[in-house]
Each structure stands twice: as structure tokens, then as C-alpha cells.
Structure 1
Amino acid sequence: MEQRLAAILAADMAGYSRLMEADEVGTIARLKTHRIELIDPSIAKNKGRIIKTTGDGMLVEFQSVTDAVKCAVEIQQRMQRRNSDVPQDRRIEFRIGINLGDIIFEDGDIFGDGVNIASRIEQLADVGGICVTGAVATQIADRLEVSIEDLGEKTLKNISRPVRLFRIGLENSALPAQPGDFDAKRSISKPSIVVLPFNNMSGDPDQEFFADGLTEDILTELSRRHELFVISRNSSFVYKNRAVNVREVAEKLGAQYLVEGSVRKIGDRVRVTVQLIDAANAAHIWADKYDRRLDDIFAIQDEITAAIAATLPGRVEAAQRDQLGRTKPANMAAYECALAAKVLHHRGTVADNTQAQSLIDRAVALDPGYAHAHAWRACILGQAWVHSWCEDRDAVWSEIVAALDRALALDDNDADVHRILAAVSVNNNALTTARYHQERALSLNPNYDLVVVQQGELLTWLGRPEEGIEWIRKAMRLNPHHPERFWSHLGKAHFAAHQYGEAIEAFMHLSVLDEVQHAFVAACYGWLGDKIAATAHMKEVRTLLPEFAVESFLATLHYAQQSDVDHLREGLVKARGDDGFPAANDF
């Protein structure tokens, strides 16, 4: 036995039994994800040691009271952010109690009064809150900028003497910042955009609410995109029913881009026009119109809002890319470096990935508190990791994990952060974790085409390709200017659904097929019994990748069900032909 003074943190999950009864598998998966991404790293960072875990709680020892409280505050504050968009009845929330006292160590476990008191006061803490003893409060009073509320003396179960307790106020707590989190002058220069009130051209006052509602919905949806700075409704609605000068409005509101539109009712139809304008030269970057039957005006409003919100950011980004071509690299701000890095990343070559890494590193250096840049650093490094464009894959994976952890800590409500976390998790075959982050990304921005298409891709990996096809087609409808690779996702989903003709048609929309896409087309023709076409595509695979082997290829995919792996393998075997390829068992 060993006896010593230590700070003990006791944590317990509130409403555990209720959540398990409602959704046992989902609750366990979400709790595991919180532990992997937040709780365990926070304990390790603050030099804690997990002594014991139960289904819904844990005991942790810290050598320093300050470290224990810092860890507790970080966990509770970040859990608040994580739960901000989660329905109340599905939230995972914790109570935390911290005590300083003598404890006894024996056989890897801890005992004694100090442990008992920590466990008792944890039960008295608010849901999502922290309760500490007087000994803890005294130690941190002058060391941490946290508010401390005296709760008075309390009688605890099986403790003979009353114990003075204190509540840590999270709303006013400020922990020491990490270096670079809050620069005096931030170097993010996000594109700013103002959505002017849509004009009602119908001559029908009853259509006014539709025009205003459409404007407000577009504002709300665009605000979900953290890569844009959206001017508030209060500022933009000042210009309702007024003739405006684009440059004057932009200068007054500090906007680089303006969105304006109109609504016109014609019989039983409604037409909505929308255009995106570059305020610097009043040039029209993009315009579109939507004609719909007036069966359900609210459904129309939702549909048009989704389409505009999905398309506009891509048009803004395209305009920004054009401007980047005229910008000297040395003059780029963090946002511009991140944008240029994304462009290079999407080209998908070794050389472009190397350049992208350099630019995204510069974005992070210019603004260490830029969550979006940290997330995209993980994405760009992830591309190098997936394709083995790096000498030490383990070291790169550690960098990816660190970048994503930093992005989450900085902004847990950025859909792109969770989208990238889901994508990286898929590539690491952690499909349960991928599902959690994909759900978060969808809840944060349900009209983001990259999130929507990724939902379809994930469902295909999970063995639900018919649902995946619906999501991928929805992403294509949301953004008619979608990246070409959406067709590849659709082709793979149709193949998994045994819809070979539709799969081939989808792949044929690609301007150039890589070896993976040729392999899927070959497997489609193999299943259709078209030996000539199947063999032709297998030859293309061999040309692009002379060392191609079926089993190695299958190992790079992420199917959750063995039947999907066997289905693709058999299609490739059928596609082999008599052209000198190895026999099926030599693949």
C-alpha cells in the first residue's frame, strides 16, 4: 500500500440509463468518440492518470489541483460547444467533482476518504458543471481565472463531518490561452457577403412575406459556412424597397460581394431570380433562376434556399481563386493561403500536395487560431497519408490527429471540421467515428454539398448504397456546379447496389478516369458479361498502375460488409479475360 496527497477528479455521465435505453449503440459510440477526441487527450495534456472507469464515469488522479481544475473546465466548456446543436434528450453531459486529500494506492486502485468525498460531491454538481471542496478552492483562487461560488457546508453520505463546497462558474472562466490562439491582429481575411432583401415583383402584397422569408433563410444558411463573413440581417434590411448603388452599399457595409434577387408570381407559378455581384467592379459573377409551381410555398422556399446556399459559396470561392492568380504569394493572408492550398489539394498530384502543405502551414503560422486552416492541414496531410506520398506514415498520422484535435478545440461548430474528421476516419477504417462526425457536419450545415455527398459515400461504405445514391443525387441538385468527382461517388454507389448500367453511365461523366475508376467500370462490365469492354478497362488499369493486384486494391477500400468486398472481387475476376493477366488466385 502507498498513501499520499493527491487531487482526485470524479466524473459521471448524467442520464446514462435513459440514454442507453433510448439508443444503446449510438450512446456508446458517441461516448467513445468524446473520450477519444476530448476527454482522454485533455486528461493526458493536464498530466492526469485514469485510475478507474465504469460504464458512465471515471476516477482520475492529478498531482496538481490546478491541473485537475483546468482539465475539468476544458472538458465541460468543450462539451457545451459540442452539445450546442444536439437535441436536449440526446446530449451527453457530465457532472464533475474534485477533492484534494489523502488517498491509498493498492493493486492499481485508489481508496480512502479523499476518493469518497470526490465521488459524493460529483453527485451534487450541476449537469455540465463542476463542484469542488474548500481545499481545492483555496488552491486555485489566485492561480486560475475562474469564478468560484460558495455553496456552504454540506452533509455527504457516509461522511461524518460536513464539507464546505464550491461551484466553478464555467460562463466566466478563462483558462490560460495556448500560444498564438489570440493574435493582436488576426490575419484571416474571409470573403464578406451581404444578401439584400429580395424584391417582390408580383404586385401582390401577400408575396412580400415569401420574399422576406427567402432572404432571411438564405442569410441563415450562408451563416453556417464558416469560411464566409455574412453581413447581418439588421444591416442588409435597411435597404429594403430602396434603389441601391452596389458599390456604395458594399463600401458602407464592408462587403466584397452582394447577393440580390427578385420574386415574381405568374398564375400558379413563382419565379425566383438571384445574382451574385463582385462589389469591386459591379461585375456579375453568377446568376440563376428558379421556376416552380406554387403548390407549397414553404417547400419552394426551402428548396430554393438550399440550392442558393449550396451554390453561392462555390461561386465566391471561384471568384477568390481568380483573384489569387493576381496576388503575390508573399502578400497572401491566412484565408488566401488556405484557399490556394485547397485548390492544389483538389488537383490530386504529389507535387501539388507538397505545395499545398507548404501553403496550409503558412496559413496556420499566420493565424494559429484559424480552425479552418488546421482542419484543412489535416485533410491535405491525409491525402499524402492515403496515397503514401510521405516517408513516415506513422509520423504523418500523428500530425493529422494533432491538427484535427486543434481544429476541434478552436471551433467545434464548423461543419467543415467535422466533415474532414469524418473523411479522415473513413480512410482509417474507423467507420463508427466517421458516422458521429458526419452526423455532426450534417446537423451543422445540411445544405453543404460536400457534406451531403459525403453522407452518400459513407452510406455506400456501410452497405446502404441505395440510400447513398439518394444523398449523392441530392448533393448534385443542391450544387449544379458540383465537382466532377461527385460522378465517381455515384458510380461506386450504383456498383455497390448492383446497378451496373447506371454505374457505367456515372463514370462516363468523368473527363478522365484514374485506375480506381477504370477498375470499377471493368467490374461492371465483368458482371454484365461484356468481356471485350471489361478487358479494355482492365488494360487501362494495368497501364496506369502496372503493379496492380486485386487483393491490394481491395485493401485500400473501406467496405463494412465482406459481401461488398466479395462482390467487387468477383467482378474484377470476371473482367480478367485471357490477356496474360494472372489467374484469379494470383491476384
Structure 2
Amino acid sequence: MITFGGFVFLTKNRELRTVEGKAVGLRSQSAEVFSVLAARPGEIVSKDALMQAVWPDTFVTEDSLTQCIADIRRAFGDDAHAIVETLPKRGYRLNADLLDVADPNPAAGTGAGSRFPQARFILAAILLVAAAIGAYYGAGIWRAAPVRSSDMPRIAVLPFDDLSTGADKGYLSDAVAEGIITDLARSKTYAVIARNSSFRYRDKPTDARQIGDELGVDYLLEGSQQKIADRLEVTVQLVNAHDGSDVWANTYNREIGDLFVVQEEIIRTLADRVGHRIERPLPTSDAAQVSALRYYLMGEDALRKDFSAAGIELMRQLSLKAIAADPNSQFGYIGLAWSYRNDAVFGWHAQEHNRDEALKLAAEYADKAILLAPDDALAHGYRASIHTEAGEVEQALAQYDQAIALNPSDSDVLVHSTDQLLMIGRTDEAIGRIKRAMGIDPFHPDYFHWGMSWALWEKNDCPAALASLRKMSRIPNPAYRMLAGIYACLGNQREAKEALAVFLKDSPDESISKERKHWEKIWTAPGSLDRWIKDMRFAGLPEE
């Protein structure tokens, strides 16, 4: 075992205790990570080396390692990150003076191995106090933020606090922050963390260094928005995530219709402070366009909470309200395109329109959105998905490329684009894109695991596919079809039938013949469709 900082780590069974023998909670994988670091104290251990040592035969993302590091720091009370230090783009280092002990009795609290040497205790205390003092004073001293010449600076835009009251509260939801994320990524000035991860810190105390460490970013943009009648006040602050120092702050007080102008001014200032100056005309906007955006965001939020036939219907109704508010903005048409696309894929609302009719409506609305907003990445991404479902492979691939170019930080578009790649057998490329999306979005949504499970099923690695799908905190009804296919692949018929029954609750008319008709022209990866039909038949899907 080894001791340091008043703790004892039992290397054989990976247990952490205090020197008095009290067990300290540390997850098994976190203990494995700590064991690797403890074997090389004072050395930089790369993320790849840690992941290979702890997960040699399992696919995991860096998010798993990040969570383990956070778990270790919590166990040691290492809020200052002085014990386990992050070296950006290099790895982690255990800063501790370790004492190896051959044969101690940690529960007894006596003997050389159970007592932390006084000199080492003093050294550790000095390190922690010094780190705390440095953080305190460093946060109050402005200094220019460093910009690496080798690559773009990385930034996370946190959700803005809504200080509005009464009926005005929640009016704009996350419109300001989401718009900034999209425009920053499009400007090619920053590498931008996806909203799914940066918005995870909503309503939590902001520790710039901790968030920067967890997301691997150089800067944080935080702020607030307040709507009062027809006025909008936005306060924004750019923070150096390495030391917590302020880089820039400003307040904007405008008419509500100037929302998009305010977003653009923020982008320009950020580009000027850290990166390249942006030269482009200010956008025009008005209150009607902002109202349309609000309804669209409400629909998007509804679907995020309930990905089902009911959630899609609510999104559709809110999208219609967006169009009524401003028929000349793209937002409502984007929502309708996505709602009809999902109707086609999952057989929802079949009593109102068949698959071909739903796809036709989806395409019309997506084309309308693109006509109104040619630079909207999401509109192109949804149109690409509709091309995929229609079997229009080349159009889908080209449209996805355009969407990704318009907003490289949109991890959702990246993952959606893998549908087409998997359909045509480019499985490894699809897995690479999902991994890239997970890197952009460290706290990515559950459905990324759904996409990875399909990719692993394509590789006939069904145990790994099942493990991936089980990583979802809640498996939505549509994903139970994939779960049924995986269980069938594993030969678990009872579980396959149970999973398929859940899927059929929202899609009661599905059958083998419909599955084949649906996929035969678009799922051209050699042998995949035949495997899928075999698995669906094994799971009990009716023939007709």
C-alpha cells in the first residue's frame, strides 16, 4: 500500500482509506485510474495511456476518464486541483510525495505505514494553501489571455441567467447563448464546445478553473439576459478558464428586436479579443423573428424531454406558432421538417400520412427553411437526414458536409450524419464521427450512445452494442427497436421480444414487410438489412 496526505491506498484491492482506517468512497474505475497515476508520481501520464490501462478492451470516451478524475479529486478534497493536476492536451500528473509501506495495518492507526509523516503533511498543506492563495489573487488580476499559435482557442458558452420576472421570464429561453454558440463556431475563430455540455452547468456555482478543466477549454463566456416589456438587457463576461481572470465584460441594452444584432456584436468583440477580426454586415432582426425563435426553442425543448409521438406533435404545434409569429424566418419550418421526418422514420401519425407523404412534407419544409436562411446549419442537417431516408445518398452526404462546415460545433449534426454512413457500410468513419462529436460535447446527450450501438451492431460486436445502449440514462421508446435487434443478435429471445413490445406501443403497425420496404433501397451496406430482418423476425415482429 501507499500513504500520502492522510490517506492510505491499498494497491491490491484498490481501496482508499483514511489513516484511521475509515473507507473513502471511490468508484472501482476511479481507483484504477488513481492506481496508474500513483505508479508514476510526478510524471505526466497521457489520457491515452490512462484509458488503455483502465479500459483496454472497451470503447469509452474521454468523458469516462474526466469523470474518474473528478471522482478522485472529490475523494481527496482536491478542489484546487493541486494533487491531481491537468496538463492541457498532455494528460494528468499526481503531485504527491508517496510513501510505500510493505506490511501495515491501516485500521489500527499505528505503525510507520499508518501515520502520514509530518514533513510530507506540511508539504502537502503548503501546496494546497499556495494553490488557494494563487487562485484567489489570480482571479482579481487582469492579464491578457494566452492564445496558442498551434491551434484555435477552445471556448464554452455557459447558459445565460434569466433575470426577467413575471410573464417575461423564460421568454427567450436559451436563445442568446445558443445563438452565440452557433455563430462562434461558424466564424472559425474558436473551437466551440457543444451546448449539451456547456449547458450542464446551469444553476450551478461557477468555478472557472474546474469547468475549464472538465471541458478542456481556454475560455468561458457567461452572462445574463433580462427582458422588460420590449427592452432586452444582456450582460456578458469572458473569463480565462486557466486562472479565472476576467478578460472582457460588457452590457447591452436594446430593443427586443435587436437580439440578433446583440449576438453579432458579442461575436465580433470576442473575435477581436482572442482570434481574428470578423468583417461582415450586422444582421437585421425584429420582434416577430425573436418570437418565432422563442416558439421554436420551446418545441426543441419539448422534444428533448420527450422523444416520442406525443413530443413530436407538441413540437409541430409550437412550430406552427413560430410560423404564425414570423412566416419569413426559418425557425418554424425547421421544426416542421424534423417532426415529419420522425413521423416517416418511426411510423408515428400513420393515420394522417404514410411514410412517403411525411417525407415529402419534411423535404418541402426543410427547403423552405434553407431558402429563408441559407447559412442555417440545422436546416441543412435536417434536409440531409431527409435525403438519407429518401435514399438520395449523394445529396445526403453533400448536405451533411455543408451543415458541418456551417457549424463545426454542432455535435448533433455530426451524429445524425452517421445514419447515412452506416446505411452504405462506412462504419468505421461513422464511429470516428461519433467519437469526434463526443469530444466536442463531453457531456453529450444519451442518444449518442444509441448511434454508437447501431455502429457496433453493424460491426457484429453485439456485446459492445448492448453496453453502449445501456449507457443511456433512459432509453426512449424508439430506441427499443435497436435494443430488440441487439438482444436478437445475442440470441436472447425473451429480452428481444420484451424490447420490441415497448417499441410497438408507439408504432403498432410495424411489420417485417414494412421494415424491408422501408430500408431495402437505402440500407445498402452488404448483408446488413438481411441481418436486421433476421433479428426482427427472431424478436417476434409480425410478417405483415
TM-score normalized with structure 1 length: 0.44
Higher relative contact order (CA 8 A, sep 6+): 2
Where is the strand percentage greater, Structure 1 or Structure 2? 1
Bigger Cα Rg: 1
TM-score normalized with structure 2 length: 0.47
